[in-house]
Amino acid sequence: MLLLSLKLAWRETAHSWSRFVFFFLCIALGVGAIVAVDLFATNVEEAILGDARGLLGGDIELSWRRTMSQNGQDVLDSLSERQITVSHITEFAAMAAVESDQPHNQRTKAASQLVELKALDSLYPLYGSLLVEPAESIEQLLAALPTGCQRTPCFGAIAQESLLIRLNVSLGSELRIGQTNFIITGILGKEPDKIATAFSLGPRIMISREALDATELVKTGSRIHERYRLRLLPSENLERWLGELRGRLSREGVQISSYRDAQPRLRRFLDQLTLYLGLIGMTILWVGGIGVACTIQGFITQKTPIIATLKTLGADSSQIIYIYLTQSLLLGSIGSLAGGMLGTGLHQGLPLLLQGIIPETFSVDPTLTPILRGIAVGTLATLAFSLWPLLAIRSVSPSLIFRQDIDRATIHTKSLSWVVTLMTILKNWWYDRVQRLTSLLIGGSLLGLAVWQAHSLTLGLFFAGAFIVGILALLGGTSVLFWILRHIHFPQLLLLRHSTNNLQRPGNFTKAMTLAIGIGVMLMTTLITVQQTLLNLIEDQIPSRAPSFFFIDIQPDQQAPFRQIVEQHIPDSDYDLVPVVRSRLTAIDEQTINPEDHKGKRNGWYFTREYVVTTFQSLPKDNLLTQGQWWDNTNLQNPANDSPALNHVPLVSVEEDAAKHLGLSLGSTLTLNIQGVPFTTKVSSLRSVDWGSFSMNFFMIVEPGSLDGAPITYIATARVPKTVQIPLQQAIVAAMPNVTAIHVGDVLDNIAKIFRQLAMGIQSLAVLCLITGAVVMIAAISINRYRRVHELAILKALGGSRGLLLFSLGTEFGLIGGFAGLVGLGLGCLLSWSILYFFFDLSWAMNISVLLTGLLMTIVLTLVTGLLGTYRLLGFSPLSVLRQE
Amino acid sequence: MQLSAGNHAVQILHDISFEVSAKQVLAIVGPSGSGKSTLLGLLAGLDHPTHGSIHIHGTNITTLAESAMAHFRRQHIGYVFQAFHLIPTLTAIENVALPLELQGLGTGEERAKSLLQAVGLEQRFHHYPIQLSGGEQQRVALARAFISQPPLLLADEPTGNLDSTTGNLVIDLLWQLHEQHDSTLILVTHDRTLAARAQRILTLQDGAIVHDTALPS
């Protein structure tokens, strides 16, 4: 039987392969998208795991957010004695200014720029290689330069090209960072340990450790990141070393990671990204599945005489279903194979679209497993989408062979109300064991596919459920539009009536076409609306009272000069200056916190992050007390409290989300490590904070006086008119080179840029979904090609001109586009509203221009697609067509 | 037998009752629309009568479910159509062997070859239907009908689409195969000469038997 089925399937396919081109395409596009995303995910995994040592920069990394303690230094010294290579890197944000003779207040162009500074030792990089132009040694490029500079000390520096562009300088130009001058000696090509440029404050600049000391930028309380990378001997046991280091450095607030941790945050981000891209790929495959179902249904209708013949020869329905299922699966696997090849091609393009989001070491190498998986997915989807239309074989009576007309007439029952029809369908389904089993098989296959793609039962169920709801909603919406259309009469326009009747004719696949296009429109609308809303939030919705600058690392003795400069530039002095200390959480209610226990976990970030603690006398603006009480002013001024009891525990007010995740309540005690000194506080209140205000907001605020004696630095925010922004930045950098100025607009631009890049990658796949919808439409049109040729021939014979016929066809396809557009846009609005409301807590606003453009483009798409599929039919001579009858 | 077309019920056959003994040749004649083909379809189990029963080889085929009927048909009934109904994507030999393959009895190639030789198509084994003339196609259909050696052979206007010379050739072959296989042959025809070769003629008019004539052998 299998041999017979394969023989029939192969012959049928070989005899009329052109009829199945769209079948192949429907499957190939979906499989192509899935394979491309899977290949991409595999490469990402390889880039992270395969080059894990390069990405981490060593076998083990010890990272501090402050300068090393003596104990830490002792541990590191002991490592060198045990033949462990230790490379020391320091990273922090700093200001780089162009060295010029012109006074800063006379400059009009930005001559200073926030940079991400990285100080290297001679061992860097322990793994991987640094690409620099010109290709000289790092020591040579970063060496001290005794001559050729306007000021000494002077060193060489390697800069990212974007810094040169932003400051309008070139190789050989002179910059000033802190107390030192630098000549740009090299341009940075590839940085092996740059995990991802998902977010950076500014361009990278690399200097030597010697030069770092000369800048005098590292001071107590400075916001720095010290990284010590360890290279173990091949014979050493990584786990044993990790255990030893974690034990010896347990009280140092150090983060210890091994290359095997493989960048959990980056990995999670890329996993999420590929998961969503994969689900869009699955949507494309399912939209293609609609085309498969239509093609099979049309094919079975055309094959009715052969099916009847086979039945007369003694074949039962299951044998014939088996024969045609074999053919579908054969076609599906050929389509999937083509999809595998298409996916390999698309895969080359994905990294270009996601540039800047993926690791720099990423390489595009096709691997076999994702391709094989894609072929399996495509074949399984073919099975799921072919089975139902194949069931129609059961109702083909063998007597059709000699009595076609009467029997066909019995198929069309008189029109019943939809409730009765639905009830009949449900009743038939319930009493038909084969239908029940097939539904289970189809449902199971689709669910299996969704779960396989989503790597999670819950998400797979959610995806399949959402798809079904989407389809039902699209079908419901289309039915309503049909109902409206049926109740509008076009008495004067015969051709218009002809096209609207054509839409509602049984077997015309109008709903399938609307569905296939509508899903693409829904996806696009959702993506564009969500993207627009988020971009608007980033770009336009910054509150008018948001500051223009954040200034960090202001030393206590720089308070007065800072105030003076700012007041000179801003007449109404709209700025805030607050003291801060950097700390890490070490215990809650005297229970020691081990950051390792929370690493990589959801919201584990609250336990492992650095907390910037400040003090305010009164509740800051944009803060709302939700529990407890703010420290009472009068109490503080009360002489009785001037010298608090020795056992007085300072009070702290904690942001409510942080409190929730840390498990804090009123009265809990928190122990923070401030530059190696333990500092215990008691929670006296919880606050809600409006983070969107872009003001200085803090997770933890302690009562005034409690930070006395701690290594305080100051941070400031200033709201500055645009015209004064550059002069103010120049003045501060010139007077206080250690102070870092962060321009809020630049940071938001940076976020928006990355967001756009991400959105572009996702949207490209959504466009593929629309293309698949168009292919499904052409497939559905081509199924009825012969009927259309016949109709057009009659209309032509009766005197219909080509223009009139075009008008009729155009109206039909335009209406399909209109329906798909209206329903797809409506559902897209609903979906985007849900995403914005439930996930982002944002309000949704109707963007009329986006919706109108969407509707218009959908109509144009269906018009062009439909006319492409039928235009050739207009060329047939009516006589030649009718003579064949 | 009643059929419905749209909302109208059409009475096709009524008060039909007859028996055919084994190996007999029965011709059913009558004007167009008298119900000849419908009667043949009922005998083949392709349709279900609205009333009454049909017994073939002791089996009441009207009570059989679809798959049981298909199984019964495979083993007991051969059918020759006016329009041949060969599968266009299969070669002559594959078309002939198809009933055996459907029964799971292998490819049946040797038997198909000998039957095709018997109908004079030894040069046409690997031709597709489209490459064969009408007469050749009907000869392939004859070979196909006999491959399972069915005890009952039904032929619906077997010469209806053929010219008289070719028609005669096909009929000679049909008789020859019928005699070789000892099968019962029931054929529907407009052709009086052809009907005259049968042992018995059943004349239908407006869905009822009006004459049942036994002919001298």
Q: B2-46: per-residue pLDDT in tens?
A: 554 445 566 778 888 999 999 999 999 999 888 888 888 889 888
Identify whether A560 is part of a domain: no
- CB nearest B70 (choices: A316, A397, A410): A316
Q: A418 pLDDT exceeds 70?
A: no
Q: A205 pLDDT exceeds 90?
A: yes
The CATH number of the structural domain formed by B2-214 is: 3.40.50.300
> What per-residue string of b and e applies to B73-93 under the rule 16 or more CB within 10 Å gives b?
bbebbbbbbbbbbbbebbbbb
The pLDDT value given to residue A111 = 77
Chain A partners within 8 Å of B44 (Cβ): 312, 398
Q: A613 pLDDT exceeds 90?
A: yes
The pLDDT value given to residue A681 = 93
Highest mean pLDDT among A522-531, A601-610, A758-767: A522-531
Q: Does A404 touch chain B (CB under 8 A)?
A: no
Q: Between chains, do B101 and A314 touch, taking CB under 8 Å as contact? A: no
C-alpha triplet A849, A855, A857: angle, nearest 5°: 100
Strand, helix or coil at A457?
Answer: helix
The pLDDT value given to residue B1 = 56
Of residues B168 and A400, more confidence is placed in B168
Q: Quick one: average pLDDT of A197-225?
A: 82
The pLDDT value given to residue A342 = 93
Q: Between chains, do B98 and A313 touch, taking CB under 8 Å as contact? A: yes
Least confident of A121-130, A266-275, A548-557, B138-147: A266-275
Q: A692 pLDDT exceeds 80?
A: no
Residue A588 and residue A529 share a domain: no
Residue A753 and residue A678 share a domain: no
Chain B partners within 8 Å of A314 (Cβ): 70-71, 73-75, 77, 99, 102-103, 148
Of residues A439 and A795, more confidence is placed in A439
- CB nearest A12 (choices: B67, B86, B89): B89
The pLDDT value given to residue A409 = 36
- CB nearest B5 (choices: A318, A399, A406): A406
The pLDDT value given to residue A491 = 58
Confidence band, pLDDT 50/70/90 cuts, at residue A639: very low
Q: Give the pLDDT confidence of A443-467 residue by residue, as tens digits.
A: 899 899 999 888 888 888 888 888 8
The pLDDT value given to residue A728 = 85
Q: A407 pLDDT exceeds 50?
A: no
Residue A812 and residue A770 share a domain: yes
Token couple for A690: 């409006």
The pLDDT value given to residue A118 = 94
Average per-residue pLDDT for chain A: 82
Residue A633 and residue A518 share a domain: no
User: Any residues with CB less than 8 A from the CB of A101 and at least 6 apart, and which?
Assistant: A150
Residue A521 and residue A594 share a domain: no
The pLDDT value given to residue A852 = 92
Q: A73 pLDDT exceeds 50?
A: yes
Q: Give the pLDDT confidence of A789-823 residue by residue, as tens digits.
A: 887 887 777 777 778 788 888 888 898 899 899 99
Q: A541 pLDDT exceeds 90?
A: no
Q: Of B63, B84, B61, which is closest to residue B72 (Cα–Cα)?
A: B61
Q: A105 pLDDT exceeds 70?
A: no
Identify whether A845 is part of a domain: yes
Residue A217 and residue A106 share a domain: yes
Q: Does A150 touch chain B (CB under 8 A)?
A: no
The pLDDT value given to residue A34 = 92
Which of the listed residues A679, A700, A718 is the one where a domain comes to its end? A718
Q: How many CB pairs under 8 A join A and B?
A: 100
Q: A642 pLDDT exceeds 50?
A: no
The pLDDT value given to residue A101 = 60
Residue A789 and residue A848 share a domain: yes
- Taking the CA of residue A482 and the nearest CA in chain B, the distance in Å comes to 24
- CB nearest B81 (choices: A317, A401, A406): A401
Q: Give the pLDDT confidence of A32-56 residue by residue, as tens digits.
A: 999 998 888 888 777 777 677 777 7
The pLDDT value given to residue A492 = 58
The pLDDT value given to residue A883 = 63
Q: Between chains, do A310 and B102 touch, taking CB under 8 Å as contact? A: yes
Residue A534 and residue A617 share a domain: no
Highest mean pLDDT among A260-264, A288-292, A494-498, A732-736: A288-292
Counted domains in chain A: 3
Q: A228 pLDDT exceeds 80?
A: yes
Q: Does A302 touch chain B (CB under 8 A)?
A: no
Amino acid at B11: Q
Confidence band, pLDDT 50/70/90 cuts, at residue A885: low
Strand, helix or coil at A486?
Answer: helix
Q: Does A401 touch chain B (CB under 8 A)?
A: yes
User: What φ, ψ does residue A162 adopt, rounded to 5°?
Assistant: -60, -30
Residue A805 and residue A673 share a domain: no
Residue A220 and residue A93 share a domain: yes
Confidence band, pLDDT 50/70/90 cuts, at residue A348: confident
> Angle of helix B92-102 relative to helix A2-15, nearest 10 degrees?
140
Residue A530 and residue A586 share a domain: no
Which of the listed residues A168, A190, A224 is the one where a domain comes to its end? A224
Q: A637 pLDDT exceeds 50?
A: no
- Number of Cβ within 10 Å of residue A189's Cβ equals 15
User: Any residues with CB less than 8 A from the CB of A89 and at least 6 apart, and which?
Assistant: A57, A118, A119, A120, A121, A124, A226, A227, A228, A229
Q: Quick one: average pLDDT of A304-312?
A: 88
Q: A294 pLDDT exceeds 50?
A: yes
Of residues A340 and B12, more confidence is placed in A340
Write the CA distances from B62 to A317, B43, B208, integer angstroms: 18, 9, 20
- Are the C-beta atoms of B30 and B36 separated by less than 8 Å? yes
The pLDDT value given to residue B5 = 45
User: What φ, ψ does residue B206 adopt, rounded to 5°?
Assistant: 50, 40
Domain encompassing residue A503: 489-545+748-885
The pLDDT value given to residue A35 = 93
Q: Quick one: average pLDDT of B69-88?
A: 86
Q: Quick one: average pLDDT of A401-412?
A: 46
Q: A653 pLDDT exceeds 90?
A: yes
Residue in A closest to B74 by C-alpha: A314
Instruction: Return the beta strands (E) in A482-522 as ranges.
Output: none
Amino acid at B137: Q
Least confident of A264-268, A596-600, A852-856, B192-196: A264-268
Which of the listed residues A164, A189, A224 is the one where a domain comes to its end? A224
- Alpha carbon distance A219, A198 (integer Å): 28
- Alpha carbon distance A83, A87 (integer Å): 13
Confidence band, pLDDT 50/70/90 cuts, at residue A413: very low
- Alpha carbon distance A518, A818 (integer Å): 10
- Alpha carbon distance A397, A263 (integer Å): 63
Q: Between chains, do A317 and B67 touch, taking CB under 8 Å as contact? A: yes
Identify whether A655 is part of a domain: yes
Chain B partners within 8 Å of A308 (Cβ): 85
The pLDDT value given to residue A721 = 83
Identify whether A729 is part of a domain: no
Identify whether A504 is part of a domain: yes
Residue A775 and residue A709 share a domain: no
Confidence band, pLDDT 50/70/90 cuts, at residue A406: very low
Q: Between chains, do B46 and A312 touch, taking CB under 8 Å as contact? A: yes
Chain A partners within 8 Å of B102 (Cβ): 1, 4, 310, 313-315, 319
Token couple for A362: 């990423």
ipTM: 0.80
Mutate to test the interface with B, among A402, A407, A415 (most CBs of B within 10 A): A402
Average per-residue pLDDT for chain B: 86
Chain A partners within 8 Å of B71 (Cβ): 314, 316
